[in-house]
Amino acid sequence: MNADPLAMEWGPATVELYSPERGLAVHVFNHDLTSEESVRKSIRFAIGRVRWLRLQLPEDTRHAVRFDDRGQVLASAARESIKSALAPYVVGVTFASERS
**What is the number of other CB atoms lying within 10 angstroms of the CB of residue 82?**
24
pTM: 0.85
Convert the pLDDT of each residue in 56-76 to its tens digit. 899 999 999 999 999 998 888
Query: What's the rounded mean pLDDT across residues 31-60?
Result: 93
For residue 37, CA distances in Å to 11, 19, 31, 78, 87 come to: 26, 33, 12, 11, 20
What is the Cα–Cα distance from 49 to 71, expressed in whole angstroms? 24
Domain ranges of the chain: 17-95
Average pLDDT, rounded, for the chain: 90
